[in-house]
Structure 1
C-alpha cells in the first residue's frame, strides 16, 4: 500500500513539473490578435494613434488613418505583430498626448482612451 502512495505522489509531482515547465513556452507562443479595437472615450477627436513594438528596434505595426471622433470606435489591423508588448501613442485635438509603454495586446483586445 505504501509503495502505491509513493508511486502516485511521484507521478503527480512529475506531472506538475511538466506543466510548470510548459508555461513559459505557452507564454512565448501567445500572439496578439490580427486587429485591435480603439475607442475614443474623450470629448475631443483623436487626431493620431500609433502602435509600435517595444525595444531598441521599434517598428510601427498600426496607425490611425484619419481622426477618430469622440465616442467612436475603429478597428486597426496589426501589420506583422511580434510579441505581446507594444508602445501606444495617441494625440488628441486639444494637444493632449496619451502614451503607454508595455501594453500587452495578447490580453488587451480593446483600447479605450479616456481623460
Structure 2
C-alpha cells in the first residue's frame, strides 16, 4: 500500500464516519413540544399554520388570534412527527409567507420578518 492510497483510505473512512454520525444525529432528533413565533413585521399576523410536508399535510399548530407587530407567542405542537414542516403565514397587508422544509428540531423558534 502506498502512502497516497493510505491517505485516501483514511480520508474515505473519516467521510464515512461523518455520514454515519450525521445520520444517527438526525434519527435521534425530536421536534419540540412547542415553538415560539415572533412577528418581526410592522403589520399583524392574521393567520399562521404549521403542517407536515407532503401531498396530505397534517396541521400540527395554528394561530388562534392575530399576532400584533413585535409580539411573540408559544404555539403547542399537536403530535409532531419528524423535523421538517411547512409554515404558512398571512399578514394584515395581504402578504403571504410560505416556507417549506422548516427544521423545527434545529430551529425551535420562528421569526417572521420583511
- Fold in common (TM above 0.5): yes
Classify the TM-score, shorter chain. 0.7 to 0.9
Partners of 1:103 and 1:26 lie apart in 2 by: 17
Partners of 1:19 and 1:92 lie apart in 2 by: 42
RMSD of the TM alignment (CA)?
1.8
Q: TM-score, normalised by structure 2?
A: 0.81
C-alpha spacing 1:24/1:73, structure 2 compared with 1 (3 Å) = same
Is residue 85 of structure 1 aligned with residue 84 of structure 2? yes
In structure 1, the residue matched to 2:63 is 64
Q: TM-score, normalised by structure 1?
A: 0.80
How many corresponding residue pairs?
A: 102
Partners of 1:68 and 1:76 lie apart in 2 by: 12
Q: Mind listing any 5+ residue stretches in structure 1 that lack a counterpart?
A: 1-15
Extract structure 1 runs of 4+ deviating beyond 3 A. Answer: 16-23
